[in-house]
Structures are given as structure tokens and as C-alpha cells.
Amino acid sequence: MIKLHLILLFIFLIAINARGQKKCMSFQEVKEYGIAIENLDSLYPNAVHADSTVYAVFRGKENEFYNAVL
């Protein structure tokens, strides 16, 4: 009986974990869902920006970001 409970708990935890995964979509899939790229652009800031006064995730750390990518 304990084995059955453990197996059911294990299956339940795997199901919850799998359901909570985020999905990455291509630009084509986003368009199919009717989501505007402009909307996504306003929600998620750029990693770096050509204009240093504009908000970017790595503002002030651009060189560190570029060196890590290269």
C-alpha cells in the first residue's frame, strides 16, 4: 500500500512539473496565436540597447555581456 502511494505521488509530481514548463515559440507561431511582436517587445526589455539611456537588462554591463556571448 505504501508503494502504491509513493508511485502515485511520484506520478503526480512529474505531472505537475511537466505542466508548469514554459513554452518557447518561434516568430511564426507567435503570429499564428495573434500576438503582436510590438506587444512582446514592450513586455520584455532588450538585453542591450544602442542608446545607453534606454532601459536594457544589462545596462552598464554591455561589454561584459558582449564578451560572455563571444
Provide mean pLDDT across the span 39-54.
70
- pLDDT value, residue 20: 65
Query: Residues of 47-60 as b/e, b for ≥16 C-beta within 10 angstroms?
Result: ebeeeeeeebebbe
Amino acid 28 reads Q
- Model-wide pTM > 0.75: no
- Read off φ and ψ for residue 36, nearest 5 degrees: -80, 135
- pLDDT value, residue 57: 64
pLDDT grade for 56, boundaries at 50, 70 and 90: low
